[in-house]
Chains A and B, each alone.
Chain A
Amino acid sequence: MAEKFDAIVVGAGPSGNAAAYTLAKSGLKVLQIERGEYPGSKNVQGAILYAQALEQIIPDFRDDAPLERHIIEQRMWMLDDNSFIGTHYRSDDYNKPPYNRYTIIRAQFDKWFSSKVREAGALLICETTVEYLVMDGDRVTGVHCDRMGGDVFADVVILADGVNSTLARKAGFHGELSSKNVALAVKEILFMPEETIQARFNINENEGVVIELMGTVTEGMVGTGFLYTNKDSLTIGVGCMLSDFKANPKKTSPYELLEKLKRHPSVAPLIEGGEMKEYCAHLIPEGGFNAVPRIFGEGWMIVGDSGGFVNAAHREGSNLAMTTGRLAAETVIAARAAGKPMSAKVLKAYKEALDDSFVMKDLKKYRHLPEVLETSPQFFTTYPSLLNRAAKTLFTVDGVDKMTKQREMTGSFRSARRIRGLVSDAFKLWRATR
């Protein structure tokens, strides 16, 4: 196929679909290439959809997108081995449309998004892996596929090929991922009747709950767990920094960690009886601001996970992906309208648009967080345990006077971290999140 396109988008996840949709909608001749059997078949996410980023692309998405439940309650749990202490935030304001976020099932959602991309006029080819970029000097001129007779050409190639960023790595645009900059997450989907979910989580039809968990379940590794309510299924998962999995002296496998979470006495009753229908694993780029590689060049741009666009502190990724995809597409559209070539000099506008958006502003705000967490495992083990112990001391009525209990509580914090450690931890958190 010697056909030439205005743009080629590699990948049909949120960033690739956002890019392809925006380009096709403006009348460009777009080829989108997806290696899965259908869009979504290679994609993994928790998954929470934040409405705003999609609304900017498809304002009426709520009319027919496959959405599971809108979230009305957020729980944060800190676990030790037998208990949890946590906060819940629930508001009926989240019950007023338009809803702010939803649980979704990615295979279904990506299929839907892709149908919109094709309606907009893009040509989608599935079951085709792009093996490498076709270059002319330092300029990307097309892609080489494992089917369709090999090379396809375009003025610009948008790389939405996911966290492993295989194509940019092979082209030498950036190096291998560092295990310190990615989290390995595993999850299962457990099916049960809608009514059971609603009774267990104290919600009505279509209402959803999100539980984020941290504590001893990750064995001192930097990581968190999650439990999301879908319509008639729950998603439960856990993820830790890949470097921590690698260095964990207990040599715990990700699936052992997940099993441990499922058996936690505070979690087990919520998921009991669920029928497990799929087990997934995925890397999440959590290196943040300092790990974002070069994202544009001669005839190419990188969007989504491939560029490391994840705000780990706020568990946001797909909204950043969609926004980067849209901004990359808008850069192409504006350049064409001005009759400019797809050179690095022109595509630099994509980086500038990103810097000006919440994407880079948020990543910049938390740029110190990865290094702080990496050097402070106490946030994931010591503090959750101390808080649980303090709660137990406080709430157990056993004839011990309250002043003694109070001394015991402050004493346990002091002996675990010393005053200097407590102050330094507070400072670190402030610096990492200010």
Chain B
Amino acid sequence: MNIAINVEDKLFQNRYKVDHGRPHIKIKDAAVCANECEAQQCTYVCPAACYKAEGNGAVTLITDGCLECGSCRVICTEHTNVAWEYPRGGHGILFKFG
């Protein structure tokens, strides 16, 4: 069952202090995602939909909505292609309720 739902509407309710120009997570080698990873599970497992499967087979990452759960790093076991750090102090998601 797939429900059409816009996760951006959910993330819009959250408070973030984005560290502009300094993403805390990076794809190490874009070619690995495009050529060696067929499943690209990050594109549907990420609870904030930070990873997008592009039409040309590439995966793009925008960390602005990241909830800092760590799932993308943990599931990328075959290729370990995610460079994952916490944001700089005070930046990133700031839960109001948690």
Contact = CB atoms under 8 A, between A and B. Distances in A.
B47 A254 contact: yes
Interface of A: 35-37, 40-45, 47, 105-108, 110, 126-129, 131, 145-147, 163-164, 166, 176-179, 182, 184, 186, 188-189, 219, 233, 242, 245-246, 250-256, 259-260, 263, 276-283
A110 B87 CA distance: 20
Q: Would you list the 8 A-B pairs with minimal beta carbon distance, nearest first? A: A127-B90, A281-B47, A106-B98, A279-B10, A128-B89, A281-B67, A127-B89, A164-B70
B14 A279 contact: yes
A186 B87 CA distance: 20
Nearest to A279: B10
A44 B98 contact: yes
B83 interface: no
Contact of A255 (B5, B73, B85): B5
A9 to B, nearest CB: 16
Nearest to A148: B89
Contacts of B46: 253
Contacts of A35: 86-87, 89-90
Contacts of B93: 41-42
Interface string B66-94: 01111101110100000001111110111
Nearest to A81: B1
Nearest to A219: B1
Size range of the interface on B?
Answer: 35 or more
A222 B10 CA distance: 25
A388 B86 CA distance: 44
Contacts of A242: 45, 71, 74-75
A184 B47 contact: yes
Contacts of B45: 184, 242, 245-246, 253-254
B13 to A, nearest CB: 6
Contacts of B92: 42
A278 B97 contact: yes
A188 B3 CA distance: 17
Given A146-B88, A164-B70, A242-B74, A255 B47 contact: yes
A107 B45 CA distance: 25
Given A43-B95, A255-B47, A278-B97, 4 more contacts: A40-B95, A176-B73, A254-B45, A260-B3
Contacts of B18: none
Contacts of B75: 179, 242, 245-246
A133 B1 CA distance: 45
B74 A253 contact: no
Given A36-B90, A43-B98, A252 B44 contact: yes
Contacts of A245: 41, 45, 71, 75
29 contacts: A42-B95, A44-B95, A45-B98, A105-B98, A106-B95, A106-B97, A106-B98, A110-B98, A145-B89, A163-B70, A164-B73, A166-B86, A178-B74, A182-B74, A184-B45, A189-B97, A246-B41, A250-B1, A251-B41, A253-B44, A253-B46, A255-B49, A256-B1, A260-B3, A276-B13, A278-B14, A279-B14, A282-B67, A283-B71
B11 A279 contact: yes
Contacts of A36: 90, 94
Interface in B1-51: 1-3, 5, 7, 10-11, 13-14, 17, 41, 44-49
